[in-house]
Structure 1
Amino acid sequence: VWRDAHAAARVVATGFVARDRRDRVTTLGRNGSDYSGAIFAALFNADELHIWTDVDGVLSADPRVVPEAVQLEALSYDEACELAYFGAKVVHPQTMSPAIERGLPIIIRNTFHPDHPGTRITAERTSSGPIKGLTLSPELALLNLEGTGLIGVPGTAERVFAALRNAHVSVVMISQGSSEHSICCVVRQAEAQRARDALLHAFAHELSLGQVQRVQLTDNVSVLAAVGDGMAGQPGVAAR
C-alpha cells in the first residue's frame, strides 16, 4: 500500500530504527541496518538482496589470521549461517532469515569496490571442494559434567541446560557421549565461572552422593570450525 502511494524508481529508507508491539520507537539491535534491508527486500518482493560492506565478500578465513585467505564466489544458506555463527562477521544469521524464507539470493558487495561481483549466497549447494571456510572463535571455555550416576537417568541434560539458562549463560556448543557418562558444553570465557557455579549448585546432591564425580572447567579454549556442504558423505575430511 505504501509503495502504491509513493511510486518511485528508488526508495531510500533508514535502517536499524523500528517500533515495538506497543508502538514505541526502538532499534533492531546488532546488524539492524542489514536486517532492515532484508525485511524491505522481503516486503517489496525483490529479486535479490545486496548487502554493501567494506570487504569484497565472504572470505575463506579471517585475513588477519590467515593472510592467504581467498574470497568465496558462492555459498549456500547453510554454509553462510554456519560461518556466521562461528565468527565470520560479514553477514549475521538474523539478516539472512527473511531472505532464506523466500529463497532470495543475498549478494555481499564492497562499497569501495562496486564493480566486484562479491559473494552470492543462495539455496544452491556448489561442489567446489569439501570445505568452504574456516573460522576461529576465541575466548571460550569448556565445561564438563561427569558422573557414573548419570547413565540412564532421564532429564539430566534438561537440568544442565536449565541451570545454565537460569544463570544467563549462553551455550556455544554441546556434546554428549553415547554412554551418557558425561555432558560437555562450550561457553564464553566471561561466563565460565558462573556456569560452573550453576552446575555445582544444580547437582549438589549428586556430587555429595558421588553420583556425579566432577564439574570440570577448562579455561581459554578456542573453537576452530571447518564449514562446507561438500563434507557430507565424503570420507577422510575429518582425518585431514
Structure 2
Amino acid sequence: MPLLIMKFGGTSVADADAIARVAAIIMDQQAEGDSIVAVVSAMSGVTDMLTSGVRAAATGSDAVCRDVAEEILHRTREAADKLIPASAAERRSVVTAAEELLASYVAVCRSVHVLAEATPRVLDRATSCGELLVADLLAAHLCTMGASSQVVNPAEVIVTDDTFQNALPLPVETAEHCARHLAPLIAQGVIPVIGGFIGATVDGVTTTLGRGGSDFSAAVLGQALAADEVWIWTDVDGVMSADPRLVKDARVIPVLSYVEVGELAYFGAAVLHPRTIRPLVDGRIPLRIKNTFRPQASGTRIEPEANPAPGTVKAVTNIQGLSMVTVEGRGMLGVPGIAARTFEAVARCKANVLMISQASSEQSICFVIPAHDVACVCGKLEEEFALEISRREIDRVGALDGVGVVTALGAGMRGIAGVAGRLFTALAQYGVNIIAIAQGSSECSVSIVVTEEDGESAVRAIHEEVMRR
C-alpha cells in the first residue's frame, strides 16, 4: 500500500471549515488505497502571535501573552464546537489539552517577564503549541468521520540537534523513533497526525526547525519512513512560472527537478525552503505541491530528474531590496587570496551573498547582498583592505543600492547555445539595463542584476519573449 506524507499549511488549517476540508481530502486519498501520515502547521498567524507575546514579556509586558493565549483558546474552542459533536468525548479532551498547553505558554511568559530575556530555547518551548492544537482538532474530526486517527507528539519522532530556533533533524535517530512510534500505527491503518515545525533533542528538550519548518518536518518523515511521495498542500495550484501579481498569464509548472526547485527557492520564489528538498534527494522521493482549495488541480510534481525540453526556461523570479558591493583596483590583478579575504569580511557581518560576479581581468569583484547589511559589509571590507587602499592597490570599496536580481531558471538551459542571447535580447527590447550577470556551473539558471525599477519589466520581458515562444 503506497505511503503518502501529506502536509497542510497554515491557510489550509486556518479555521474549522478549512480543517474539515483537509479531513475530507485525507479520507478521499485513503479511500484510493493509500496509507496517510498527516503533518499540520499552526492556524494562520498563531505562531507569530505566540512569538510576539514572548517578546513583549521580555521587554516588560506580560499582558500581551495572556491576550494571545485567550485569543488562541477562543479560536480552538470555536473550531472544536464546529468539528466535534457535543456528545463526543473528544471535544472535552481537545479543549482541555488546549487549556493546558496555553496555560503552560502563559507560565513561560511569566518567567521571561521576570528574567527580562527570551532565549532561543525558551522561544522554542513557547512557540511550539500552535501545531499541536491543530493536530488534536484534525485527529478528533477524522475520528468523528469514522476514520481511525491518532495524534503523535512530534517530539517523540523527530530527533534533532540542540540548535534552538533552527534545529537540524538527526536522520538515524529520527528513523529509529519513527519505526517505533509511527510504523505500527500505519500498519494498523491508523492515520497519524503530527504537528510540523517541532522536534526534540536526544534528551527530550523541545526544538523548532526554523523557517519552512513544517514542510521540512514532512520531508524528514518521508525520508525516515521511506514514503512513496510527500505532498505539500497550500493555497496555490502549484509552482508558478512567475509571480502572478507581475505576470497575468503566469502558469503552473507541471514538473520540476530537485535542482530546479532548489534554485527557485533560493532565488526568491515563495515555494519551498531549500532545506525541504534535502531529505528527499537521498531517498529519491517525489514531492507534489497541491492546492487545498482546489484538490482536483494536478499541482506541481517535483522529481529527481525532470527530463526537460532543450532550451526551455521554466520560471523567472525577482528579488528586490538588495545592494551590489564592488571591490576594485588594478593592484588586485594576479594577487591570490583577495576573494577569500573579501568573503571572510562579509561573513563577519553574517550577510547572505545571493550572487557573485568577477571580471576576467581580476580587477574587480562584485556581489549582491540584502540592503540592510551594506553598512556593516562595506565597513568590514575597508578594515580588511586598509593597507591595500592606502597603497592604491585597491581603488575603492563601493555599493550600488536599489538593485534586484532577476533569475531565469530551467534545466533545459543546460548545454544549449543561444539561451542567454534570447534573454539579453528580450531585456534590450524592454529597455532593461543589465548591471551584472552570473551563471552557476549547473547551467540551470542565469541571474541578472538590474535596478529595482527595471525588475518588473525584466520579469515580464523574459516571460513574454523567452518563455512563451
Residue of structure 1 in register with 2:228 after alignment: 47
Greater share of helix: 2
Could you tell me how far apart the structure 2 residues matched to 1:68 and 1:182 are?
40
For the Cα contact (< 8 Å) 1:130–1:234, is it kept in 2? no
Residue of structure 2 in register with 1:182 after alignment: 364
Residue of structure 1 in register with 2:329 after alignment: 147
For the Cα contact (< 8 Å) 2:254–2:299, is it kept in 1? yes
Residue of structure 2 in register with 1:223 after alignment: 405
For the Cα contact (< 8 Å) 2:349–2:373, is it kept in 1? no
Could you tell me how far apart the structure 2 residues matched to 1:125 and 1:15 are?
28
Tell me the CA shift for residue 211 of structure 1. Answer: 0.3
Among 84, 92, 95, the residue aligned to 2:265:
84
**Per the alignment, in what secondary structure is the counterpart of residue 61 of structure 1?**
coil
Residue of structure 1 in register with 2:35 after alignment: none
1:115 aligned onto 2:115 = no
Query: How many pairs are equivalent?
Result: 240
1:168 aligned onto 2:350 = yes
Larger RCO (CA under 8 A, 6+ residues apart)? 1
For the Cα contact (< 8 Å) 1:143–1:215, is it kept in 2? yes
Tell me the CA shift for residue 178 of structure 1. Answer: 2.2
Among 201, 205, 208, the residue aligned to 1:27:
208
Among all aligned residue pairs of Structure 1 and Structure 2, give the percentage whose two residues are the same amino acid: 44
RMSD between aligned residues: 1.3
Could you tell which deviates more after superposition, 193-202 or 72-81?
Answer: 193-202
Residue of structure 2 in register with 1:157 after alignment: 339
1:81-120 Cα distance to aligned partner (Å, 9 max, x none)? 1111101111111111111111110000111111111100
**Per the alignment, in what secondary structure is the counterpart of residue 192 of structure 2?**
coil
Greater share of strand: 1
Write the letter of the residue equivalent to 2:281.
I
**Per the alignment, in what secondary structure is the counterpart of residue 260 of structure 2?**
helix
1:126-153 Cα distance to aligned partner (Å, 9 max, x none)? 3245200000000111000001111111
When normalised by structure 2's length, the TM-score is 0.50
**Per the alignment, in what secondary structure is the counterpart of residue 369 of structure 2?**
strand
**Per the alignment, in what secondary structure is the counterpart of residue 217 of structure 2?**
helix
Could you tell which deviates more after superposition, 146-155 or 223-232?
Answer: 146-155
Could you tell me how far apart the structure 2 residues matched to 1:235 and 1:141 are?
31
**Per the alignment, in what secondary structure is the counterpart of residue 180 of structure 1?**
coil
CA gap of 1:144–1:103, structure 2 versus 1, over 3 A, is: same
Tell me the CA shift for residue 4 of structure 1. Answer: 4.5
1:166-193 Cα distance to aligned partner (Å, 9 max, x none)? 1222111111222221111100011112
Tell me the CA shift for residue 125 of structure 1. Answer: 2.6
Residue of structure 1 in register with 2:239 after alignment: 58
1:2 aligned onto 2:181 = yes
Could you tell me how far apart the structure 2 residues matched to 1:55 and 1:3 are?
30
When normalised by structure 1's length, the TM-score is 0.96
Write the letter of the residue equivalent to 1:148.
R
Gaps (5+ residues) in structure 2?
1-179, 423-469
Gaps (5+ residues) in structure 1?
none
